[in-house]
């Protein structure tokens, strides 16, 4: 593995699973931990590490089911608490005792919020996080469209994406090849990674644990539209509204400062994401949609804004930065500005 200057790679056995991570900075530096999202790894943060001041120890792990960490099964019924507990175990194994500054992208954003519910943290930086009410199948107030949470979870992903991922397809021959999925949904339409880095990122995604225990997870049949509901295993069920909930941060006695960064061209976490069943049904792409009153497109950004607004009203500090023209990963398609915003936030709170 060829890493950028100043970036190191290591693997450690924790008391839960074996975890791989990249890092920079001194062992006694102020801890900053960057948690990746679904279908990615710690290396999606690698370009940020050399620009981080040397007084910080930056750690970017591969989370359970992804990258070079142990391909352990994920218990979706715990939401993302498997990830939160794995993160705590990693920090213990690395002798990190100070409350960390946590960065979480997409699924990682929900995971670090869950971490903060039971453990002290210095700050939370959210990058296009999964809604506090989970992904898919909820009304604006977070209540499920159906009692069994139909329309969310492992059964809602396009099966061709899964089959090509399982086959290790690194081509650009299909819109469902992971290379094209990444370029369409992770970044702004105008952004393209350098060819060698794009190849590396695709190879990282192809390390994903594919199947019922990983991506996308299992599913159960439902009498409700669209005929599938979340099962108890795997990552897409863990982020479904059946199990994913980080609204509890509003009630924390000690509220860490929050930085929320979001691209206004985000197609993954959006009010009406084209990956969410309500939007697909409304567009006629999934037959039988029961209509706006029964299953509206999920207003994910509005839900995040509402919960963080309540967090601020309850005494928390929230800074919001919207990145015009950026996609799901402004730390990747607007890295200079994102880094400046993040480092200013760190300077204010460390």
Report the alpha-carbon distance of residue 106 to residue 341 in Å, rounded. Answer: 18
Report the alpha-carbon distance of residue 242 to residue 74 in Å, rounded. Answer: 15
Classify residue 286 as left (phi > 0), alpha (psi -120 to 50) or beta.
Answer: beta
Q: Where are the domains of the chain?
A: 8-145+236-348
Give the residue among 92, 259, 239 at the shortest CA–CA distance from 156: 239
Give the residue among 243, 349, 225, 232 at the shortest CA–CA distance from 294: 225
Q: Which residue has the tokens 């910080």?
A: 56
Mean pLDDT, range 110-123, rounded to an integer? 98
Reported CATH class of domain 8-145+236-348: alpha beta
Q: Which helix (H) or strand (E) holds 59?
A: strand 56-61
Phi, then psi, of 196 in degrees rounded to 5: -70, -35
Percent of all residues in the chain with a pLDDT value above 90, rounded to a whole number: 99
- 8 A C-beta contact, residue 255 and residue 311: yes
Mean pLDDT, range 306-310, rounded to an integer? 98
Give the CA count within 13 Å in the CB-facing half-sphere of 183.
19
Using pLDDT thresholds of 50, 70 and 90, give the confidence band for residue 98. very high
Q: What is the pLDDT of residue 308?
A: 98
Which SS3 state, helix, strand or coil, does residue 1 take?
Answer: coil
What would the two tokens of residue 280 be?
Answer: 């697909």
Per residue in 210-246, pLDDT (tens digit) is 999 999 999 999 999 999 999 999 999 999 999 999 9
pTM of this prediction?
0.97
Give the residue among 267, 246, 239 at the shortest CA–CA distance from 329: 267
């Amino acid at each position: 593995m060829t890493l950028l200057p100043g970036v190191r790679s290591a693997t450690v056995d924790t008391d839960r699973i074996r975890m791989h991570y990249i890092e920079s900075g001194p062992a006694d530096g102020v801890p900053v931990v960057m948690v990746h999202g679904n279908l990615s790894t710690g290396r999606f943060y690698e370009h940020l590490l050399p620009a981080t001041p040397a007084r910080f120890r930056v750690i970017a792990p591969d989370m359970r089911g992804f990258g070079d960490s142990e391909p352990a099964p994920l218990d979706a019924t715990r939401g993302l608490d498997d990830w939160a507990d794995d993160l705590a175990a990693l920090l213990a194994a690395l002798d990190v005792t100070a409350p960390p500054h946590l960065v979480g992208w997409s699924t990682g954003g929900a995971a670090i919020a869950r971490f903060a519910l039971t453990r002290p943290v210095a700050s939370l930086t959210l990058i296009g996080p999964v809604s506090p009410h989970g992904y898919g199948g909820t009304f604006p107030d977070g209540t499920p469209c159906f009692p069994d949470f139909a329309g969310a979870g492992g059964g809602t992903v396009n099966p061709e994406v899964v089959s090509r991922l399982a086959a290790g397809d690194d081509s650009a021959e299909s819109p469902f090849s992971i290379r094209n999925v990444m370029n369409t949904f992770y970044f702004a339409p105008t952004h393209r990674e350098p060819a060698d880095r794009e190849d590396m990122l695709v190879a990282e995604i192809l390390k994903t644990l594919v199947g019922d225990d990983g991506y996308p997870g299992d599913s159960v049949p439902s009498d409700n539209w669209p005929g599938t509901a979340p099962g108890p295993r795997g990552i897409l069920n863990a982020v479904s509204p059946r199990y994913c909930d980080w609204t509890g941060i509003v009630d924390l006695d000690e509220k860490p400062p929050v930085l929320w960064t979001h691209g206004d061209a985000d197609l993954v976490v959006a009010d009406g994401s084209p990956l969410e069943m309500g939007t697909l049904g409304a567009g006629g792409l999934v037959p039988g949609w029961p209509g706006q009153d029964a299953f509206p497109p999920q207003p994910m950004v509005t839900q995040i804004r509402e919960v963080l607004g309540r967090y601020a009203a309850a005494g928390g500090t929230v800074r919001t930065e919207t990145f015009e023209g950026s996609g799901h990963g402004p730390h990747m398609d607007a890295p200079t500005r994102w880094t400046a915003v993040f480092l200013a936030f760190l300077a204010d709170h460390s």
